[in-house]
Amino acid sequence: MYHWIPFWPDTAPVNGVPVDRLYIAELALSGLIMVSFVSMMLRFCVRYRDGGSASRGGRIDKTWHFEIAWTVATLAVFLVPFLYLVISLFLRLI
């Protein structure tokens, strides 16, 4: 099915195609999140390096709101496609 990926094996089971698509989507999403995280980290390192002119005043003391929002958003981004596939495969079997 995926002949453009040289190491991808042939899909044997009937339900293998949706699972393969979900795997590729989750892999691409993981790569996108990793690239965005690394780019934000590098931007932070360059901006706030020692001797830089960036203002360090006005810090936020309580960041747990942002941390919980980031964690829940990431969980939802990965969990929604997985649950969609599981529910659709389950309904096919009924």
User: Which position has the token pair 């960041």?
Assistant: 63
Q: Flag whether 33 is in a domain.
A: yes
Q: Flag whether 12 is in a domain.
A: no
- The whole domain housing 23 covers 18-49+67-93
Q: Flag whether 37 is in a domain.
A: yes
Task: For residue 77, name the pLDDT band (cuts at 50, 70, 90).
Answer: confident
**Which ranges constitute the DSSP H helices of 1-94?**
16-47, 64-93
Task: For residue 74, name the pLDDT band (cuts at 50, 70, 90).
Answer: confident
Comparing C-alpha atoms, which of 91, 69, 85 is closest to residue 20? 85
Q: Flag whether 43 is in a domain.
A: yes
pTM, two decimal places: 0.60
Q: Flag whether 58 is in a domain.
A: no
Q: What is the pLDDT of residues 18-71, one digit of tens each?
A: 777 778 888 888 898 899 989 999 998 887 777 767 676 776 677 788 889 989
